[in-house]
Chains A and B, each alone.
Chain A
Amino acid sequence: MLQNELFDNVIRDFNAGYWELYNDPDKEKWSQKFYESTGYSQQELDPTIDYFLENLIHKEDVDVFRDNFLNYKKNNINFKQHIKILTKEGVYKLYRCATNDELPVNIKSEINLLFFFEVKLQPEQDIAKDNFYYKETAQMTATGSWYVDFKKRKSYWDFETRRILEYPDDYIPSLKDSANYYAEDCQQQAADCFFNCAMAGTPFDTEIKMVTANKRVFWVRAIGKPVYNENKEIIGIRGVFQDIDDIKRKEIRLQKSMDIIASQNSRLFNFAHIVSHNLRSHTSNLSLLVQLIEDIDNPEEKIELVNEVKQISLSLNTTIEHLNEIVAIHTNKDQEKKNIKFQDSLNVVLNGIGQTIALSKTKIEVDFKELEEIIYIPAYMESILLNLITNSIKYKHKDRDPLIQIKTYTEEKNKYLKITDNGRGIDMKLFKDKIFGMYKTFHYNKDAVGIGLFLTKNQVESLNGTISVESDVDQGTTFIIEF
């Protein structure tokens, strides 16, 4: 790999010394150019990281370089750093260290390389400049740095971290209460990141919700990596918080509209399919009939066949009516939503089908205590209740009278309606994907049309809800609607 010509050319153009890093420290190799640049001969140096840290690198740079080096080697985290290296002449030369990510994109190295570019500037000048750039970058990108010191059990924040978290300049961050810097639903995520980083040295780069001093919740990109001591033990974590609230909120909004568009698109597609399929079955019958009429010579038989046209026309009308109902759902969803009481909607439904309920000896148990009302389109609510209740009665168990339990509740701010019956149930293994399909029936009832659940699903979804079903054969069926 390293003999690769392209690679060699790149290295030559780089005009920089480099190290080849391997898991086995004995295999590590310092390039000829590295020796030339620092003025040593190969015999004079022991090419190991420990030797380098002890003898060659300036002690100001040791700690940060050690962390960067180990993170690069162990976790493949690329880094850039300015360091000063003691040359043969006895003076420190400034180098810019860089890693594989500086290689041109068409060059891939299978091993980690560490480059040392000589920097011609005076070190002092450069460092002052670095500091200026650091502050500019931090402010302009709203990126604050922080450090957690495990030995001193303290955390440190820079000015920008304090600013984005809305704490005063003299605020001292608390390690003990650090969970409180994160939104409640993100505290576990934060704990996991920090724990894994502290224990296993796993760096993290994640999006998380934090809480400012003013209790404002906002989105942050949090990056952290372990800090090592001479013995390669993890003694802390350092990293950055970047305020990405605007971007993240836009992203979430965008994702939401994408979901809505995708679901509308799939409904439209589904509808087009339904239209095509349902109309085709009638038109193909019509065409078959016409062929037959043309083919038959006996006038009496011909007249008989013409009567069949009536039948097809009737079926076609029924289908068109069903399709109209579906279209109506999508045009009606902008109808005025009202605050409606579940009990009121149920009363309307029960008044309409009172006789069916009485004849079938259906018992209905109602529990609307937890959630009494909801903002919804009244006609839809009635239609949903009507469809589910009549379904339960239609598909009652032959050995028992229907019992329907209707309950509303809230869970994690979401509103639910649950309708459970003791009917004959649906075989979920066979029909799971088809329950809400159009013209799908699973029982031998003569009056099964296969439109009710399809309409219900469309009504629920047109108002951005979901409907799900659980069922056991001979036990009963439960429909759960999330509004």
Chain B
Amino acid sequence: MMSSKIGLACIIDDDSMYVNLIKKIIEAKSLCQNLMVFKNGEEALNYFEVILNNLDKKSIPEIIFLDINMPVMDGWEFLEGFTKIKNKLGKTITLYIVSSSINPIDIERAKSINSVKDYLIKPVTIEDLESIFLNQPA
């Protein structure tokens, strides 16, 4: 099996079933070495703000999968905060929105945001995930 190029990936999603399944796929396919999970935008943003004060590049994920509809702080609000700090993190982070929303307004909005690499509509396929992880620039 190919050794994974990605050290750390991050999922921000409140659907625990979805997160478990993705975890299992990543494990089964050894897509990355470590995975961290946040239940909503606020938890994730808090994490990044802490890292900002205590720069440790190993704790910064190379890839983020962000849900839109979440309690407390949704994906849009997270993006607002994240865009402000992401350049200070000193590492390229590829961010995908992964949502079950097929609302064209959401899709347009996502594509208009610079930090967003692509908009994936749930369900994602194992092939999608593989190609995202394997084509990720090191």
Contact of B71 among A273, A281, A440 (CB under 8 A): A440
| A427 CB, min distance to chain B CBs, angstroms | 10
Chain A residues whose CB sits within 8 angstroms of the CB of B21 once the complex forms: 285, 288-289, 292, 308
Within 8 A of B (CB), among A270-289: 273, 276-277, 280-281, 283-289
Within 8 A of A (CB), among B37-96: 69, 71-73, 77
The stretch from A170-178, A195-203, A416-424, A441-449 touching chain B is A441-449
Contacting pair A284 B123 (CB below 8 A):
yes
Contact of B122 among A281, A291, A305, A448 (CB under 8 A): A281
B17 within 8 A of A: yes
| A391 CB, min distance to chain B CBs, angstroms | 15
Contacting pair A311 B17 (CB below 8 A):
yes
Contacting pair A281 B15 (CB below 8 A):
yes
Chain B residues whose CB sits within 8 angstroms of the CB of A239 once the complex forms: none
Contact of B17 among A295, A312, A443 (CB under 8 A): A312
A479 within 8 A of B: no
Most A Cβ at <10 Å: residue of B17, B101, B124, B125:
B17
Contacting pair A292 B18 (CB below 8 A):
no
Chain A residues whose CB sits within 8 angstroms of the CB of B73 once the complex forms: 430
Interface residues of B (CB under 8 A from A): 15, 17-18, 20-22, 24-25, 28, 69, 71-73, 77, 100-103, 122-126
Q: A277-B100, A450-B71 are in contact. Are A285 and B123 (CB under 8 A)?
A: yes
Chain B residues whose CB sits within 8 angstroms of the CB of A311 once the complex forms: 17
Q: How far is the CA of A284 from the CA of B15 in the complex (A)?
A: 11
A296 within 8 A of B: yes
| B46 CB, min distance to chain A CBs, angstroms | 13
5 nearest A-B residue pairs (beta carbon)? A284-B123, A284-B122, A280-B100, A287-B123, A441-B71
Closest B residue to A282 by beta carbon equals: B17
Q: How far is the CA of A238 from the CA of B71 in the complex (A)?
A: 63
Contacting pair B15 A292 (CB below 8 A):
no
Chain B residues whose CB sits within 8 angstroms of the CB of A347 once the complex forms: none
Q: List 19 A-B contacts (CB under 8 A).
A: A280-B100, A281-B122, A284-B124, A285-B18, A285-B21, A288-B22, A288-B25, A291-B123, A292-B21, A292-B28, A305-B24, A308-B20, A308-B21, A311-B17, A312-B17, A315-B17, A439-B69, A441-B71, A444-B72
| B103 CB, min distance to chain A CBs, angstroms | 7
Chain B residues whose CB sits within 8 angstroms of the CB of A273 once the complex forms: 103
Contacting pair A277 B126 (CB below 8 A):
no
Chain A interface mostly: helix
Q: How far is the CA of A439 from the CA of B68 in the complex (A)?
A: 13
Q: A295-B126, A308-B17, A312-B17 are in contact. Are A448 and B102 (CB under 8 A)?
A: no
Chain A residues whose CB sits within 8 angstroms of the CB of B15 once the complex forms: 281, 285
Q: How far is the CA of A280 from the CA of B17 in the complex (A)?
A: 13
Most A Cβ at <10 Å: residue of B21, B69, B101:
B21
Most B Cβ at <10 Å: residue of A280, A281, A430, A448:
A281
Q: How far is the CA of A263 from the CA of B18 in the complex (A)?
A: 34
Q: A273-B103, A281-B15 are in contact. Are A288 and B123 (CB under 8 A)?
A: yes
Contacting pair A280 B102 (CB below 8 A):
yes
Chain B residues whose CB sits within 8 angstroms of the CB of A443 once the complex forms: 72
Contact of B101 among A277, A315, A439 (CB under 8 A): A277
Q: A287-B123, A295-B28 are in contact. Are A276 and B71 (CB under 8 A)?
A: no
Q: How far is the CA of A442 from the CA of B72 in the complex (A)?
A: 5
Contacting pair A276 B102 (CB below 8 A):
yes
Contacting pair A291 B71 (CB below 8 A):
no
Q: How far is the CA of A284 from the CA of B101 in the complex (A)?
A: 11
Chain A residues whose CB sits within 8 angstroms of the CB of B102 once the complex forms: 276, 280
Contacting pair B71 A448 (CB below 8 A):
yes
Closest B residue to A438 by beta carbon equals: B69
Most A Cβ at <10 Å: residue of B15, B100, B102, B103:
B100
Q: How far is the CA of A320 from the CA of B18 in the complex (A)?
A: 19
